[in-house]
Amino acid sequence: MAYTAKDYSKLIGMEGFSQTLLTNHFTLYQGYVTNTNKLTDILAAMLKDGKTAAPEYAELKRRFGFEFNGMRLHEYYFENLGGKAAPDKSGALAKKLAEVYGSYEAWEQDFRATGAMRGIGWAVLYQDNVTGGLFNQWVNEHEVGHLAGCRPILIMDVFEHAYMVDYGLKRADYIAAFFKNINWKAAEGRIK
């Protein structure tokens, strides 16, 4: 089964994100989709040919997590953008954030701090599928740092490609623009 890149062009015109930045970002995402499909095909052929003991097979298996997660995290990210409204304070997500963090504002402070950490990666609000708890987590290089058994609720890309064109080194300004554009309905739809 081949993956198809989704069309997120509806995000063009979003406040704080230039068309150049978004178009470049969509092209990068397309690369993850393409590479996920290539690796799927190569690994299937190697399995069929009995080449699973080859070092190349092992390295491609490791690489698959990077490409697949790069594809999927970008999909979550783009899907939780494009909103203009504040979070529904009476909704399940806002209530859960207040319950876990003491207030929405405390959660937001922690999420912003997670996204502002030095390095490249992702800031992810996860929900633990076992306890229902919420965690703001740093994910590095797409495949390192995910919390096993947890559902991504809100994703913020903090690789340089997500903001450098528009904000240079001012990551905090990008994070502010991200918060102005969160599609809270998409995030709310991910919580259980």
Its pTM stands at 0.95
How far apart CA 165 and CA 31 sit, in angstroms, is 19
How many CA atoms does the CB half-sphere of 91 hold within 13 Å? Answer: 16
Same domain, 40 and 63: yes
Domain boundary among 54, 79, 104: 79
Domain that holds residue 29: 18-79
33 within a domain of the structure (yes/no)? yes
CB atoms within 10 A of CB 42: 15
Query: Cβ of 34: how many Cβ atoms within 10 Å?
Result: 15
What are φ and ψ of residue 119, in 5° steps?
120, 180
Q: Extract the residue ranges of the chain whose pLDDT is less than 70.
A: none
Asked whether the beta carbons of 5 and 16 are under 8 A apart, the reply is no
The pLDDT value given to residue 1? 81
* Contacts made by residues 54-63, CB under 8 angstroms, sequence distance 24+: 63/39
Q: Domain check: are 72 and 97 in the same one?
A: no
* pLDDT confidence of residue 123: 98
- Domain closes at, from 79, 106, 131: 79
66 and 156 co-located in one domain:
no
- Please give the pLDDT value at position 23: 98
